[in-house]
Amino acid sequence: VRILFRDVVVLSSHLDGVWRGDVLVEDGRIQRMEKGICEEVHRVIQGDGDYLIPGFVQTHIHLCQTLFRGLAEDLPLLDWLEKKVLLFESKHTPDTIRASAKLGLCELMLGGTTTFMSMETVRYTDVVLEEVSRSKLRGFVGKAIMDRQVGNAPLFEDTEKAIKETVDLIERWDKQGKLRYAIAPRFVPSVKHDTWLEIFKIAEHYDVFIHTHSSENRDEIKLVEELTGKRNVEYFDSMGILTDRMKIAHCVWVDEQEIEMLRSSGAGVLHCPSSNFKLGSGIAPVVEMLREGLNLSIGADGASCNNNLDVFCEMRLAGLAQKVRKGADALPVKEIFRMATLGGAEVLGIADEIGTVEVGKRADLVLLGVKDVFTTPDTANPYARVVYSAGRGNVRIVMVDGEIVVEEGRCLVYDIDEVIRDANSACSSLVE
Ligand SMILES: [Zn+2]
């Protein structure tokens, strides 16, 4: 199938500024970028100067928590987790988790996210994987591993069962179509020492990532120090598991030594500013981490602590937070745009396939309409228009692997009315 984007303004991290012309997509790849392409195609999409950008990459979310939106308000991390989120997760049934995943996937694609990494809960990850593969998005997904109880939280399981189920899920789902498995030990307090070592062996054997949380909040760090005698990153390093396989959400409270450990290991950092603000956790030292050359990317975390899965919110907040810490020139717009696109692709090891709008790459693309009140005037810095002025309402077309999943703001994969109805009824049964 050949689709031509006619007269679009291309924004992409590898460009100095922008490029205007036609972009031809063929068999899932960007085939040509020239001015005035007159080839026979199946479909022409008129850009008239609208922006063609790489699909956004969100490296840290929880599809299973979309249903908990607005149900866990005004609590700090450990209470939020123990009293609300783990309780809700323990009540999930296959039906409620499916409704949650579908709602999340719709939200992601309607907002221009084409690739994501999601940590699920202890049970029913099969159901989520089914929905992700149906959604056509590029997903890295894994079941949460929790073989140690956190406080009085009702959600934990036997080590042997956790490992067996993880291996079974990897064997059945990893590298099926656009799906990749990512092993998901939840965080240090919920995973036994020997289990980390076992997980690392499995990750090496199957060549998959390890997706976890760390250094999010000061009480959590205190708890980790009580349990291990070390700070989070130091603990990972001491076990010999801190490598470029590790993809670590938050890293809000990391000291200089930990930043150096993250840098030399090549581990990926998954920055979630809204979640860090909303749970009152803190502001991650993004400027320092970028200066040291760390691999940084962006994610919304779950809808239970955000309460959106909106990459535009995350970009805006990522920028503003660093300006408050380090001054107005702390984090330029292009750098923020990069974290939400190519940076995410790099963290997920697929930057040679996606993350920029370049000939030869997979066609994961978003067409943003920029002829509305909110993004005018058109003489503005184009990257600033995307990062600070545009929003999900500007998303016209979303394409994954050359296939259109959102058309003029309408989801083509799911019946949205049905998704909303199912989510509402699933949520009321869960709350009961
Ligand atoms: Zn999270």
- Give pLDDT, residue 301: 97
Spatial CB neighbours of 291, under 8 Å, sequence gap ≥ 6: none
- Give pLDDT, residue 58: 98
Is the pLDDT score of 151 beyond 90?
Answer: no
Gyration radius from the chain CA atoms:
21
Distance 385 CA to ligand 1 centre (A): 28
What residues are neighbours of ligand 1 (ion), with CB under 5 Å? 301
Distance 392 CA to ligand 1 centre (A): 22
Distance 302 CA to ligand 1 centre (A): 6
Is the pLDDT score of 432 beyond 90?
Answer: no
At residue 67 the predicted structure's pLDDT band, cuts being 50, 70 and 90, is very high
Sequence letter at residue 374: F
At residue 153 the predicted structure's pLDDT band, cuts being 50, 70 and 90, is confident
Distance 45 CA to ligand 1 centre (A): 37
Distance 101 CA to ligand 1 centre (A): 15
| pLDDT tens digit sequence for 330-377 | 999 999 999 999 999 999 999 999 999 999 999 999 999 999 999 999
Distance 318 CA to ligand 1 centre (A): 16
Structure tokens at 105: 């996937």
Counting beta carbons within 10 angstroms of the beta carbon of residue 360, is it exposed (0 to 12), middle (13 to 18) or buried (19 or more)?
exposed
Sequence letter at residue 278: K
Distance 118 CA to ligand 1 centre (A): 8
Is the pLDDT score of 190 beyond 90?
Answer: yes
Task: Report the alpha-carbon distance of residue 384 to residue 54 in Å, rounded.
Answer: 16
- How many CB atoms are closer than 10 A to CB 424? 13
At residue 155 the predicted structure's pLDDT band, cuts being 50, 70 and 90, is very high
- Give pLDDT, residue 431: 85
